[in-house]
Chains A and B, each alone.
Chain A
Amino acid sequence: MPDIFVKDDTIHATNNQPLTFFSAFCKDPLGVRFQSQEDNEKVILFVRKHFITNISWILTGAIFFFLPPVIQIFKAYILLPFYLPNQYVFLLILFYYGLVFSYLFSQFITWYYTVSLVTNKRIVDVDFFYLLYHDVAITKLDLVEDVHYKKTGFFSSFYNYGDVYVQTAAERGLFDFLQIPKPEIAVEIIGDLIGKQNHA
């Protein structure tokens, strides 16, 4: 008779995975460290926003990238109120593409550095936005009271991403991991760790 009440661990079995440049969900990641990591502290879960959530700025960047050739086509119909020498136009184009690159790069690093880590001891939430603002919040696992997730909308169902909320008894009450892939597995992993902490 099959033992249906035995927990299936294959869903998040321990198999250390190296983090790639575009990883958004990684169980037992290899090669990730954070500032206050202790010697016997192991990162169990690494999450950041699903890559599909970047589609808006990628499309915006693509539009801006192809804008100058389009302007070139309709150049005859555009009348400038002043004359610009060729060297100015050349530098202006270089500057323009530099700005497009900077926009794409800054959006990418905003996504790249907004990460959440779950270790065998703590939960670490790093938020990075507007280039000049970063917020690092850390809580111990034994302070976690509740964990749940929310999936809303067509895209989140289609690409399987959602928001995970971790309620704690710490001063900062709520930790949120927004738009992360496989939120149900993340909740299960955190839930298991809370259980282990409570039984320890």
Chain B
Amino acid sequence: MLESTLSMALEPLFITKLIFLIVLGMYSAFAFVLSSQIKTMNAIVEIKNSSALLYAVSLIHLVLVLSLFIAGLVIL
């Protein structure tokens, strides 16, 4: 049982999947930081219309990155 689990863990495809998910997780964290920074900067300098648009784009970006992470979990 342990032997089969170990051999599966050492498979190149499994390692690739693990690396891929870790990188996607880091990317999700980056997208979150990006949107929170935009929120902070909008509080410092607010330019009518365009500031809200940038924040909306950053939120859409965050949602897409999280979707990619979930897709990675499901597909791979």
Which A residues fall within an 8 A CB radius of B?
Answer: 18-21, 30-35, 82, 84-85, 87-88, 90-92, 94-95, 98-99, 101-102, 105-106, 109, 112-113, 115, 117, 126, 128, 131-132, 134, 136
Q: A82-B12, A91-B72, A91-B76 are in contact. Are A134 and B34 (CB under 8 A)?
A: no
A-contacting residues, B20-34, CB 8 Å: 20, 23-24, 27, 30-31, 33-34
A-contacting residues, B25-48, CB 8 Å: 27, 30-31, 33-34, 37-38, 40-41, 43-48
Interface of chain A, helix or strand or loop or mixed?
A: mixed
Chain A contacts of B20 at CB under 8 A?
88, 91-92, 95
Q: Which of B33, B48, B57 contacts A132 (CB 8 A)?
A: B33
Q: Is the CB of A34 within 8 A of B44?
A: yes
Q: Is the CB of B46 within 8 A of A134?
A: no
Q: Is the CB of B45 within 8 A of A98?
A: no
Chain B contacts of A117 at CB under 8 A?
45
Q: List 30 A-B contacts (CB under 8 A).
A: A18-B48, A20-B50, A21-B53, A30-B48, A32-B46, A33-B45, A33-B46, A34-B45, A34-B46, A82-B12, A82-B16, A87-B76, A88-B17, A91-B71, A92-B20, A98-B27, A101-B61, A102-B27, A105-B58, A105-B61, A106-B34, A109-B34, A109-B38, A112-B54, A113-B41, A128-B41, A131-B33, A131-B34, A131-B37, A132-B37
Q: Is the CB of A88 within 8 A of B16?
A: yes
Q: Count contacts on B: residues with CB < 8 A to the other chain.
A: 36
Interface of chain B, helix or strand or loop or mixed?
A: helix
Q: Is the CB of A35 within 8 A of B50?
A: no
- State A195–B6 Cα separation when bound (angstroms): 78
Q: A87-B75, A91-B72, A98-B64 are in contact. Are A19 and B54 (CB under 8 A)?
A: no
Report, nearest first, the 3 A-B pairs whose CB atoms are least far apart.
A31-B48, A113-B41, A87-B75
Q: A34-B44, A88-B16 are in contact. Are A98 and B65 (CB under 8 A)?
A: yes
Q: Is the CB of B50 within 8 A of A19?
A: yes
Q: Is the CB of A105 within 8 A of B41?
A: no
Asked if B49 lies at the interface with its beta carbon under 8 angstroms from chain A, I say yes
Which of B24, B45, B46 has the most chain A CB within a 10 Å cutoff? B45
Q: Is the CB of B64 within 8 A of A105?
A: no
- State A111–B76 Cα separation when bound (angstroms): 37
